[in-house]
A = this chain, B = another copy of it.
Amino acid sequence: MLQQLFTPSVQHTLDLIGIFVFAISGALLAVRKNFDIFGIAVLAEVTALGGGLIRDLIIGAVPPAAFTDLGYFVTPLFAAVLVFFLHPQVQRIQTGVNVFDAAGLGLFCVAGTTKAYEYGLGLTASATLGLATAVGGGVLRDIIANEVPSLVRWDRDLYAVPAIVGSAIVVLCIRFQALNPGTSAVAAIVAFAVRLLALKYHWRAPRAWNRRSSAVEVEEG
């Protein structure tokens, strides 16, 4: 067992902030897809809690935290109600939402990696589950909304990379016995910053190589 990263109440507050901002992104997509109030609530819950749920099922932490902590369950409902009534205002501050979502990404990849390691997984598997915690909810959100997950779309700014960077910093710290509240915070902040830079400069990942390099291929893009 690792030492507690933060005091329990600080960790819990950070978790709730991450859950809230992810729930906002789910609720906004639901409004865009013309879902009713229950659809908004479902998508808020799934986006906010789906990544952690997948992680907990895989590491055998049942029942998952999403079902044992009432605050985890109620927070997305609050976000859903907020978006239900105020969605134009929320959309108008889309930049703000993106910043908070980036913060959620940083917090979740660190928390997910740490929890997976505490349950006995190896370093690579822990980092993978940190990534899954951070991006899993968004993938489930897009599947339910019947869209290609924005995680895998080439025309979206980098989302996986910041989470991979954050998770990698955490496992490197574990490897060199340097994980503590300070280095955890650094990992989360670096992931957060990389995501903000990706948004600002529209960093994108390459598509398959020979779309550009192969002379025998016609440009398909």
Contact at B121–A67, with CB atoms within 8 Å? yes
Residues in chain A within 8 A of chain B (CB atoms): 30-31, 33-40, 42-43, 53, 57-60, 62-64, 67-68, 70, 73, 83-88, 119-122, 124-125, 128-129, 139, 143-149, 151-154, 160-161, 204-210, 214, 216-217, 221
Chain B residues with Cβ below 8 Å from A214 are 88
In whole angstroms, how far apart are the Cα atoms of A147 and B80 in the complex?
23
In whole angstroms, how far apart are the Cα atoms of A130 and B208 in the complex?
33
Contact at A152–B36, with CB atoms within 8 Å? yes
The chain B residue sitting closest to A149, CB to CB, is: B144
Additional 14 contacts, C-beta under 8 A, given A58-B62, A146-B146: A31-B207, A36-B206, A37-B206, A37-B207, A38-B161, A39-B154, A53-B58, A60-B63, A67-B125, A68-B122, A85-B208, A85-B210, A143-B143, A146-B148
In whole angstroms, how far apart are the Cα atoms of A34 and B205 in the complex?
12
Distance from A68 Cβ to chain B, minimum over Cβ atoms (Å):
7
In whole angstroms, how far apart are the Cα atoms of A83 and B146 in the complex?
26
Query: This chain: how many copies in the complex?
Result: 3
Contact at B128–A67, with CB atoms within 8 Å? yes
Contact at A152–B217, with CB atoms within 8 Å? no
The chain B residue sitting closest to A217, CB to CB, is: B88
Chain B residues with Cβ below 8 Å from A153 are 35-36, 39
In whole angstroms, how far apart are the Cα atoms of A134 and B120 in the complex?
28
Chain B residues with Cβ below 8 Å from A57 are 57-58, 62
In whole angstroms, how far apart are the Cα atoms of A201 and B145 in the complex?
27
Contact at A207–B35, with CB atoms within 8 Å? yes
